[in-house]
Amino acid sequence: MAFLSYGPVARFRAEENAVKDTPDDPLAALRTLLGDAHVLTGGDVEKFARDWTGKWRADPLAVVRPANTAEVSQVVKLAAAFDLSIVPVGGNTGLVGGTSNTGALMISLERMTTIRDIRPAAGLAVVEGGAILSDIHAAVEAQDMFFPLTFGARGSARVGGFLSTNAGGSNVVRYGPTRGLVLGIEVVLADGRILDLMSELRKDNSGYDLRDLFIGGEGTLGIITAAVLRLVPKPRHHAAALVAVRDLPASLRLLRALQSATDGAVEAFEYMPRSYMTALATHRPDLRQPFAVHDHCVMIDLGGLSRPLGDVMEAVLEAGVESGDVLDAMVAQNEAQRRLIWDMREAAAEITFTRLPIVDNDVALPLDAVAQFIDDMHAGLATLDPGADTLIVAHLGDGNVHLTVYPTDDGQLDAIREMIEGVTVSLGGSISAEHGIGLSKLTTMTRRKDPVALDVMRAIKTALDPDNRMNPGKVIPERTGGAGTPPT
């Protein structure tokens, strides 16, 4: 997937701005550039080598840790001189094999963690590419502001990683997808040049929208080394609840009623049906569930500025009880109970990857097609592998369903995957809502993405990275298809 071949040293020496008097060995050159302590090899790369899910491995030439954007640029130029591939790595909590490689130079921004500026009056924060999401949360909340992007891995996910992945999370229902939460970025391109898109503006209409190519580019077009993040006022009042509902349509009615009653203050609306709550009871008995497992359950969090929302929550839930949509409910009475409800939802990742083999899906559907998707998927599964288990948890407010299938054996893996893809696409859905493509969805991209769209992506990739040096082999399948079938 990556290419390790030593380019002619003459080419490197001629390179503009390159380090002088460099040895013929890339590792020696990197050590000269960054210092020995920041060129990791052997056992030192282990924490970058194995991804979080255990499905993907990296066997890089080295992991380097530049101190600033200028050093990232120099590393990229040096990699070009030695004809090395480059794979940027953040917190290594991605789910699609996005950092898997053999022989590439991995670039970690873990030394570039500075939160450079927080300006509440302008509603923005300026951060370096290695800053950790939860550190950003803490810093801006100390100034009574809020950066809405959040997900389970926030304690390790870094700016460059979660933006390159276009990570989504639980607050999209209120604050919109990730691209709308980013005002500007700085990128080191494949030729080492630094692209300055550090806009501090909500509206900026000066030429093509380059920013949103790199967000979600999974490191295949450049390395995001800094960003300007959009902040919103920190909600002052929260109201969280765990609610058993009659069925999925009842959930959507409840969502609409809450949106209407709170002027859109629904911060999270997460679907956790029987399969999820049962697995939660097994794997996390410490998270004590307030009522028996029902077929359909949602967790809700409201966030308001102007008024406490507990009364509104209770009034809407009471109306739901009367209409028969709500079967049982627990409204958090304090922050500890609210945290418990969130912990139940955020245990999803650890619960999901407990068994093998699995077919994990991260699909998005139009809101009015989610119930049909689940029905059709179960029908398909009953034919292919009636003994298979499923686990569903969904950002229901966004139509984003995380569906995991545990087949009875390895034989049906691809048939199940293809069936789920087919159901998704037939309902107008997407084969990736927020996890991205990486290596794991390349076959799916070949099968399901508009071929013209794939061609346009290839044209852009070639235009920006003609030597295919940046995270090669990810996101865009080979024209022949078939590459990158996941090992599982």
177 binds its own copies (CB under 8 A): yes
Closer of 60 and 160 to its own copies (Cβ) = 160
**Quick check: 199 binds its own copies (CB under 8 A)?**
yes
Q: Find the shortest distance in angstroms from Cβ 467 to its own copies.
A: 14
CA distance 58 to 145: 38
The interface region with its own copies, picked from 14-22, 253-261, 341-349, 411-419 by CB under 8 A, is: 253-261
Would you count residue 205 as binding its own copies (CB under 8 A)?
yes
Q: Where are the alpha helices (DSSP H) in 263-369?
A: 274-283, 310-323, 335-346, 348-352
Q: Which of residues 143-172 bind its own copies (CB under 8 A)?
A: 165-166, 168, 172
Residues 426-465 touching its own copies, rule: CB under 8 A, are: 428-437, 441, 445, 448-450, 452-457, 459-460, 462-464
Residue 204 or 350: the one with the smaller Cβ distance to its own copies is 204
Spatial distance between the Cα atoms of 210 and 147, rounded to a whole number of angstroms = 22
According to CB under 8 A, which one of 55, 65, 296, 395 is a site residue for its own copies? 395
Q: Given the complex with its own copies, which of 78 and 316 has the nearer CB atom?
A: 316
Distance CA 191, CA 470 (A): 10
Q: Does 195 bind its own copies (CB under 8 A)?
A: yes
Taking alpha carbons only, the member of 249, 93, 245 closest to residue 160 is: 93
Which residue in 86, 124, 153, 240 binds its own copies (CB under 8 A)? 124
For the record, the structure tokens of 96 come out as: 């699609």
Nearest to 60 by CA among 28, 111, 108: 108
CA angle 355, 361, 365 (to 5 degrees): 150
Choice from 79, 197, 396, 403 touching its own copies (CB under 8 A): 197
Tokens 């006022």 label which residue?
233
Q: Of 425, 471, 421, 481, which is closest to residue 216 (Cα–Cα)?
A: 471
- The smaller minimum CB distance to its own copies, of residues 40 and 431, is found at 431
Amino acid in position 161: G
Sorted by sequence, the CB contacts under 8 Å of residue 292 that are 6+ apart come out as: 328
Q: How many residues does the chain have?
A: 488
Binders in 206-225 for its own copies, by CB under 8 A: 206-210, 212-213, 215-217, 221
Min CB(13)–its own copies separation in Å: 24
What lies within 8 Å, CB to CB, of 94 at 6+ separation is 51, 52, 161, 165, 435, 436, 438
Cα(363)–Cα(400) distance, rounded to whole angstroms?
6
Q: Which is nearer to its own copies, 65 or 469 (CB)?
A: 469
Q: In this complex, which beta carbon is closest to its own copies, that of residue 78 or of residue 197?
A: 197
The nearest distance, CB 386 to its own copies, in angstroms, is 30
With binding defined as CB under 8 A, does residue 336 bind its own copies? Answer: no
Residues 44-103 that bind its own copies (CB under 8 A): none
16 binds its own copies (CB under 8 A): no
Q: Which position among 182, 252, 348, 439 is part of the footprint of its own copies (CB under 8 A)? A: 252
202 binds its own copies (CB under 8 A): yes
- CA–CA dist 427, 449 (Å, integer): 14
Residues 360-379 that bind its own copies (CB under 8 A): 362, 364-369
Which residue is associated with the tokens 């990486």? 438
For residue 311, the minimal CB distance to its own copies (Å) is: 12
Q: Which is nearer to its own copies, 39 or 125 (CB)?
A: 125
By CB under 8 A, how many residues form the interface with its own copies? 92
| Surface-to-core class of residue 248, CB atoms within 10 Å of its CB (0-12 exposed, 13-18 middle, 19+ buried) | buried
Interaction between residue 264 and its own copies (CB under 8 A): yes
Tokens of 268: 């999270």
**Smallest separation, CB 270 to its own copies (Å):** 14
Q: Cβ 304 to its own copies, closest distance in Å?
A: 6
Q: What is the nearest approach in angstroms of its own copies to the Cβ of residue 210?
A: 6
Residue 281 sits in the site that holds its own copies (CB under 8 A)? no
Among 90, 148, 219, 304, binds its own copies (CB under 8 A): 304
Kindly tell me the sign of the dihedral angle through the C-alpha atoms of 61, 167, 453, 206: negative
| Cα–Cα distance measured from residue 188 to residue 194, given in angstroms and rounded to the nearest whole number | 5
- Asked whether position 320 contacts its own copies by CB under 8 A, the answer is no
**Residue with Cβ nearer its own copies (206 or 383):** 206
Q: Which of 259, 361, 440, 446 binds its own copies (CB under 8 A)?
A: 259
In the beta sheet, which residues pair with residue 185? 197, 227
Give the Cα-Cα-Cα angle 177, 423, 250 (nearest 5 degrees).
Answer: 65
Cis peptide before 357 (omega within 30 of 0): yes
- Please report which helix (H) or strand (E) contains residue 237, including its range: strand 237-245
Does the footprint of its own copies cover residue 404 (CB under 8 A)? no
